[in-house]
Structures are given as C-alpha cells and as structure tokens.
Structure 1
Amino acid sequence: MDVKIITIFGATGNQGGSVARSLLKNPAFHVRGITRNPGSEASKALISQGAEIVQANGLNPDDMKAAFRGSWGVFLNINSDDKAFTNPESPSEFDMGKIIVDAAASAGVQHFVFSSGPPCSEMTNGKVSMKAMDMKYKTEQYLRSLGVFKSVLPLGPGWFLENFLTKEVAPVFGGFPYFPDDAGLLVFSTPCWGGKEDVPWLSISDDFGDIVQGALLDPETWNGHFIHGLSDIRSFKELTGDFQEVTSRRATWSPIQPSWEEFQTHGIHELEDVKLMFGFTQITGGKYFGTTTESHTASKLKKATAVALGYPEDKHGLVTVKEWFATRFGNATWCKENGITE
C-alpha cells in the first residue's frame, strides 16, 4: 500500500487534533504532527495512537522544510490567539502562514488543507475588521496564488459545540447550559446572527477530522472549493429548544438588542473577536463563510470518510445539535457530577 504522509501543523490543538485522530484510523495515511512541545500530554497521546511527532517552529523556514519533507498532504491551522502575534514589532499571522506555505511548496507537498476565513473587512466595507479572519483570508489568497499545489482546500470551522463544555464561559452568554436564573431557566443570551439565523454548529470531536479526511480522500475534486466545516445548522432559538427536548431542562434564547455592539466582553481579549463575529454576520446577512451557509458538502465528506473507515451506516451522517446535547448533557451521572439538577 502506498501510504501517504499527512503533516499537521498544530496537531495538539482542537482542529489539528481532530484531523490527526481521524486520519490515524485509516492505514492509507501516516500522520506526522508538528508541535513546539513534543513532550506535552497531547503529543504523547497522539504518539500512543501511532502518530509521528516532530518539533518545529512555524516562524523558522528550515524547521518547516524539514517537517514537510516527504509529505503528500498538509493540514494547517494557525492559532490567531498565539502570543507570538501580540507584539506589533513581531511577525504577523500572515508572516507565519507565508513561511509555512513556502516551506510546503519547497518540500513538494501536493495537497494543502487550510483552516481559513472570509474577507471580513472587505465584506463589511470596513465596518468590522476581524484581524484573525482577514489574516487567514490573506494567507489563503497567497496559498492559491502560488499555483504549485495539485489542490488547495480552504475550509472554515463553524461555532464549536465543545465551547458549551466550558463552565467558565457560560456566564458570558447568560448561564446556559450550566447556571439557571432565579426562575430555574437556562438562558442563552447572544446578539442575533443575521439573515435567516442559520448558525453553523460544529462538533470538533465527532465531525471536523472526518470532514477533512473526506476532502483528502479525493482532494482534486474539491480543489479551490471553500468547505463549510459544520455539523448542523440551527438558530439560537432552535438550539436551546433541542437542548430542552433531550434534557427536559427549561432553556431559552434571549437576544441581545438592539445591536451586536451591546454584547459585553468583560475585558476578555478572546471575546473581542466573538463580538466582531456577530457584527460581521449581522452586516453580511449571516454569511459566516462568505456565502450562504450549506451543509451538503460536509455531509458528503463525512460519508466518504465513514465508508472508507467502515463505520456502520448509522454513523455515516454528521452529528446533529440534538444528538450532541443528548450525548453530553443527557446523562444523569454527568449532570450530577457537574452540579446540574434535573
């Protein structure tokens, strides 16, 4: 068997880790993970599953060329919140992206999957500038412009359902799904999304890696196609309704009005981009991926992976929001351990 090396930049992160775990199930692929800390628990876990781990710095061209040597494909996600980008005198996210892309091209990589984003500033006529999105879009355009890869596969990850597992974040959004109000109601409070309120929800653990693997199973078919990385499309109101149905706990969505600018970030740096995200989606009519949100591409890619890995037929589809909540919040023992009452 001709085993293809897939090198993952950020293999111990949420996105890269999901891709690695999916690909490790397929003997047609050899997973090589790039990390700055090969001694971390996350690195050790991947090694125990059969991954090769190499140490490299994304700002070091020689490191990256060595890491990509012999690779057939690459998955790249750059952490926009990396402290390396906070100093205006230091290299930017785009600078890192360019170094990584150039190294992959030099190493003869054929297929490049890139976690990207739409041109936020351009689409809002400068009204909203999300630096992370704009940097990723700029990197994507550079990646496409080289014309040396057999396929360039940009994709955008949706809103991580796994964020609901972090108790510390819940109060920022009204307390849902952990802290009920005085009336015993779990309130999810956000600005409106915009457009048809089609919010793209993504289970990183269940679907993201399989979507990426599906693209790598037939990369030239998907060349240049911006993939919407999602598991389910549900409005905020529908999401809390799904939660209520599978857990029997009262929940509701409370829109923050009249504008996205009313969303409070509480001085938390990471929430600034969340606030701007609402501005972006409201101004563009919900076009989080730059175009109207759709799930049929992700469904096809998930099924392709499921077939390749021999999943039972009931596992060929993307995980729905309702299924995700049922698995994580429908278990009485889990709820008891987390102090959630029925």
Structure 2
Amino acid sequence: MRDIAPPVPGPGEVVVDVERCGVCGTDVEFFTGEMAYLHSGEAAYPIRLGHEWAGRVASVGDGVDPSWIGRRVTGDTMLGCGRCRRCVSGRQHLCADRHEIGIRNGWPGALAEQLPVPVGALVPLGDPDPTRGAAGELDPTRGALVEPGGNALRAVRGAALSPGQRLLVLGPGTIGLLVGLIAASQRIEVHLLGKAAPTVNFARDVGFTHVWDRPPEGTFDAVVDATNDRAMPGFALDAVEPGGRVVYIGLSGEPSLVDSRRLVLTDVTAVGVLSASGALADTAARYADGGVDPAPLVAATVGLDEVADVLAGQRRPEWGAAPKVHVNPRG
C-alpha cells in the first residue's frame, strides 16, 4: 500500500468514497503478471486495481449536478472516448481508446479510499427521492456485486432462453453462479458443471439442484462457458443442442480451439460477452426487488492490509467455499 493525494474531480467527474470493492480474477492476473494487457501495452505497473465497487459520491467537478453528493452508486468499468462511432452508437465498451477502471490505460481503481469516476458512468444504487431517505438503497455488499452481475446478465441475455429451457453453465465461480441465479429467476432450468468438490458443494448449498462434477448426458438449449479452462470452449459446442447458443464469457490464459465446422454444421450461434456495459442498471434493479440475491457469494470482507494475501490466493478456512472476497478500503 502507498499513501497518495486524495483525488480531485475534474470537469464532468465525481469522487466516490469507496465502501466495498470486490477482488476479481482479473485482479489476480495483474498480481501474477499473466494479465494480457500487461503484454500488449494496454496496462503497466504501477496500477491501482479494483473495478467491482460501491460507494457514496463525496464531491463533484464542474458541470456535475451537486445532487449526486451523498448518493450510493456503482459505475461502468468501461470509459469510452465519447467521440468515435462505437461510443456514439452506444458501444463505448468496445472503444479502441477506452479506459477501464482499475484495468486499462491507467485509470485508477477502487482498491483505495476514494475513486474518481466520470458522472456518465455512474449507476445509482438508491432511490433519488430525498423524502424517502435510503428506501430501496442497495447495501455496499450487493452494490459491489452489480458489476459482475451485469456481466452475468449479459451472458443470460446472450443465451436467449425461454422459461423451461435448459441451460448448462460451465464453471461455478462468481460469474457462473450469478448466471445461474439470474437464469433461475427467469424459470430457466439451470445445470452447473464444476471440477472442485468445494465449489460444486457450494453451488448446491445456495440452492442449485442440478450440479455436476462430470459432464452430464444429453445436450442443452444453451451453454455458458464461465471458466478459464482452454478445453471448455470446444466442450461447450459438444454440449449444446443443434440450433442452440453458446455464450463465451470466461477467458483462458492461452488460446482455446473451437472447431468452426461443428459450429456451422449444427447451426449454433456463438456469443462473446465483454463487460457489464448496458446491463448495470437492470442488474441493480433485480437485486433491489429481491429477484436475485448475490450476497451469499461473498465469503468475507477484509481491509486493504489483507489485499495482497487475497490476491495471492490465501483464504482463511472459516471463510468456506463462497467465491468472492470483498475489501472495505475505509475499514
């Protein structure tokens, strides 16, 4: 850890007092040096990590409505230039010149007491009506799970299933479990496939009934690959029903091989998901109305002094098998 000067909001920006920040697999890859952006030049050390966060707006810059001050918010990780054709068409998460909070092109992340954010990236986590106080406001734990939940929601949308259809989710980590929870809330029949006994058992503990530790028989109307296993993209094609959809949201550390002949000859649609952009507000609403509760996925909340241990994969036995660790930078 190092002490730095508090951020000052620039024009069109706010500064947020961070209440919670989730530790993500991307953060671990930065810690180990495996993150692809480090090798492509899109990121460089030193970098302040943290892109799954919730907090309260502490101050605003020029041109920002002061009514934001005091509101609990989260925000989009992807900060486009705002000028290119991708940004103008609403695809700022694909902007070639984008910043990614805590990840790309040097924008500082939320593993700190305060975080600067463009106001256009903010997502409110509470009722803006001052007469209702904190009515409907998400707590920091659920607020910091909106970003991974938005990724999961986009994956469920990519699967394009109807109630009663069957979905196979590969990998019961944070994203895989959130995919399962969101899909189940839409009355989709969810199956989860994992390897490690603790994660498989945890999936059962949070209410999933179709959990497998070996490939199940038959095919599925859609498959979501939420793993970092290079063999799973190819397996997903074998597991999907002809005419179905495969959604790829996990990334392996090395190239994965997919037989395009199988893709074509079974008329399968393949969908890639990058980021939660476009799904954050809807995810927050699902959490707020109780349709999906992500809180059981958090194993523990620690302080900044324990972040290095968490990034190195150290977990206390009493935390159990829940996949997510949160950080309270102000605790």
Report the TM-score, using the length of structure 2 for normalisation. 0.33
- Flag the structure with more relative contact order, 1 or 2, with Cα contacts below 8 A and sequence separation at least 6: 2
Report the TM-score, using the length of structure 1 for normalisation. 0.32
